[in-house]
């Protein structure tokens, strides 16, 4: 049991100055605005305490990838030190046997605890919008493979990104929804009308909005507008200054609101490492000046960002309370994680202590200090 106080604390979406919370085991058992009811065990008078970040789209970090069973703990630990206390590990397009092996390894990691679930980004994507995925391994969604993949996941698959224009996509959307899996639209060349149909069928997330989809055009609005304008949809944004222009970030947040915008890193193994040559699944990736691109091309291949960096960016755009929603509450709700995403009684004791510059000084995950500067 521990009592924590801070000069600024964001409790259940409200900014309090000061604020306090009390933990017991892995949960928050009390919290409130103002000074703590008794002397705190840990006091952060010059800091900001916010909910632990929730990253619903990340491929790796710290030199390790979630496609490598031996690198799962390293990648999760790296992002944990940057405040990400809840992770959906993302797999890229792979051959059938490789996909199943990756799902099984991540499902085991979910059972052990470092991960909250699996995000399948492929292989059911558009070759025309393949991005950093191997187009030679993309395929149409077939019921037999979907059932095999779901069985391998053992309930750990929480989200799948697919292109709704593919043959069999409608049936695939229904099958995933029946299995309790969130359906996201991405890496797609769909028309506006086709994207709208997929949303009506139950797709509720837009994977890294604007990236790997047709640009918005005044006569052919494409999937981006369909995703952006529908109140049922949460849109991912990679606010790293590379994937989308900062003013586009501002415009999307203004249009959709922070309850519909989820910041994601889409980070690859190179996050936290220097420039060099890396891999994203089967694809070679060059990192120069912190920007990851498919080897020998200008195609962006994920990011080298961390959630604390994205938090600082969107706090400057939309303020502290909105930044908390976009990095914790909104992604948690989008993928159905009810025990995380806010500092509230009954939820997991996941929090990040930030200094005056909004840089991480300490991290608590499920009641344990896992990073403490």
Instruction: State pLDDT tens for residues 22-60.
Output: 999 999 999 999 999 999 999 999 999 999 999 999 999
Query: What is the model's pLDDT at position 373?
Result: 62
Q: What are phi and psi of 238, to 5 degrees?
A: -105, 95
218 annotated to a ligand binding site: no
Q: Is 266 a catalytic residue?
A: yes
Cα 190 to Cα 250: distance, rounded to the nearest angstrom: 25
Q: Which residues pair with 39 in a beta bridge?
A: none
Nearest to 83 by CA among 353, 279, 313: 353
Nearest to 186 by CA among 246, 236, 150: 236
Summarize pLDDT for 63-101 with one digit per residue, the tens: 999 999 999 999 999 999 999 999 999 999 999 999 999
Q: Two tokens at 208?
A: 């890294």
Burial class (CB in 10 A: 0-12, 13-18, 19+), 45: exposed
- Sign, Cα dihedral of 316, 318, 322, 325: negative
300 annotated to a ligand binding site: yes
**Regions of the chain short of the pLDDT cut 70:** 373
For the range 241-247, what are the long-range contacts, defined as Cβ-Cβ under 8 Å and sequence gap of 24 or more? 241/313, 242/291, 242/300, 242/303, 243/208, 243/210, 243/211, 243/300, 243/303, 244/209, 244/210, 244/211, 246/313, 246/317
Query: What is the model's pLDDT at position 37?
Result: 95
Q: Which residues pair with 118 in a beta bridge?
A: 89, 157
Query: What is the model's pLDDT at position 113?
Result: 79
Distance of CA 136 to CAs 95, 139, 211, 327, Å?
A: 9, 8, 20, 34
End-to-end CA distance of the chain: 21
Cα 250 to Cα 321: distance, rounded to the nearest angstrom: 15
Query: What is the model's pLDDT at position 232?
Result: 98
- Sign, Cα dihedral of 151, 153, 156, 158: negative
281 annotated to a ligand binding site: no
28 annotated to a ligand binding site: no
Alpha-helical runs (H) found in 14-89: 72-81
190 annotated to a ligand binding site: no
Q: Which residues pair with 160 in a beta bridge?
A: 120, 183
187 annotated to a ligand binding site: yes
Please identify which of the residues 55, 189, 230, 266 carries the catalytic annotation. 266
3-state secondary structure of 233: coil
* Whether this model's pTM surpasses 0.85: yes
């Amino acid at each position: 049991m521990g009592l924590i106080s801070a000069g600024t604390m964001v409790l259940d979406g409200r900014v309090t100055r000061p604020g306090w919370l009390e933990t017991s085991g892995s949960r928050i058992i009390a919290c409130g605005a103002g000074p703590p009811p008794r002397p705190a065990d840990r006091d952060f008078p010059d800091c900001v305490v916010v909910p632990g970040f929730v990253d619903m789209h990340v491929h790796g970090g710290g030199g390790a990838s979630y496609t490598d069973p031996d690198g799962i703990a390293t990648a999760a630990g790296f992002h944990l030190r940057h405040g990400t206390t809840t992770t959906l590990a993302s797999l890229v397009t792979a051959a059938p046997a490789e996909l199943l092996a990756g799902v099984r390894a991540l499902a085991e990691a979910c059972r052990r605890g470092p991960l909250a679930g699996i995000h399948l980004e492929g292989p059911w994507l558009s070759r025309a919008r393949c991005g950093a995925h191997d187009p030679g391994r993309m395929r149409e969604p077939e019921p037999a493979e979907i059932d095999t993949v779901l069985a391998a996941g053992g309930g750990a698959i929480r989200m799948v990104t697919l292109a709704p224009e593919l043959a069999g996509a409608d049936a695939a959307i229904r099958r995933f929804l029946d299995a309790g899996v969130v359906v996201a639209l991405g890496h797609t060349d769909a028309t506006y009308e086709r994207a709208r149909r997929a949303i009506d069928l139950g797709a509720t997330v837009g994977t890294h909005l604007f990236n790997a989809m047709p640009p918005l055009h005044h006569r052919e609005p494409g999937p981006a507008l369909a995703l952006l304008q529908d109140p049922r949809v949460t849109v991912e944004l990679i606010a790293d200054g590379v994937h989308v222009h900062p003013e586009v970030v501002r415009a999307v947040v203004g249009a959709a609101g922070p309850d519909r915008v989820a910041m994601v890193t889409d980070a690859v193994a190179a996050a936290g490492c220097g420039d060099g040559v890396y891999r994203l699944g089967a694809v070679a990736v060059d990192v120069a000046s912190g920007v990851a691109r498919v080897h020998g091309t200008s195609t962006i291949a994920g990011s080298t960002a961390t959630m604390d960096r994205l938090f600082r960016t969107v706090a400057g755009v939309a303020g502290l309370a909105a930044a908390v929603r976009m990095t914790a509450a909104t992604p948690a709700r989008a993928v159905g994680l009810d025990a995380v995403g806010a500092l509230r009684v009954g939820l997991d004791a996941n929090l990040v202590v930030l200094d005056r510059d909004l840089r991480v000084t300490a991290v608590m995950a499920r009641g344990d200090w896992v990073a403490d500067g």
